Amino acid sequence: MSTEKENLEALLKKIDNLVTTMGKISEELKSVSASIKSIAVSQITQPSIQRPSTAPVQTQQKKTSVEDIRMAFPENLDNMLSFEDKDEFIMVKPKTFLGSENFAKIASAVRGMGGEYISAGKDSHFRVYKKKN
């Protein structure tokens, strides 16, 4: 019976290791997803290079919207942030303490969209500048 107990304990330990590994993989996938969304939004907000043509081309100007920026963040991070449309930028402000890991993920996404972090004590926030396409 002790051999059976040892086998069960070994199996439980393996299962615990698998659960831990799957949790790490899940976090990495969330991070990759946020990065991909950030890249997609930055491509949407950056002007595309057009070849010159003989006829004048009218381009429609589109500014980055709060919704464009919000889409760049996974839901778990989106819930921690407030978004405010300012004249020249979208302000992304934490609603709660982010912790270093979440802060790094948000900062990376914001930089991917051409934004920056503004350190101002209680008024610290991220800025994503509006760009015209």
Q: 114 and 40 in contact (C-beta within 8 Å)? A: no
Confirm whether 89 is domain-assigned. yes
Mean per-residue pLDDT of the chain:
78
Pick the more confident residue, 80 or 56.
Answer: 80
Query: Binning pLDDT at 50, 70 and 90, where does residue 125 land?
Result: very high
Confirm whether 30 is domain-assigned. yes
Section 89-102 average pLDDT: 90
Encode pLDDT of 3-51 as tens digits.
888 989 998 899 988 888 888 888 777 777 766 766 665 555 444 444 4
pLDDT at 35: 67
Confirm whether 75 is domain-assigned. yes
Confirm whether 54 is domain-assigned. no
Query: Binning pLDDT at 50, 70 and 90, where does residue 66 land?
Result: confident
Residue 129 contacts by C-beta under 8 Å, 6 or more apart in sequence? 64, 88, 89, 114, 115
Section 111-119 average pLDDT: 89
pLDDT at 57: 45
For the chain, the domain total comes to: 1
Structural domain containing residue 38? 2-47+62-129
Query: Binning pLDDT at 50, 70 and 90, where does residue 73 land?
Result: confident
Query: Binning pLDDT at 50, 70 and 90, where does residue 55 land?
Result: very low
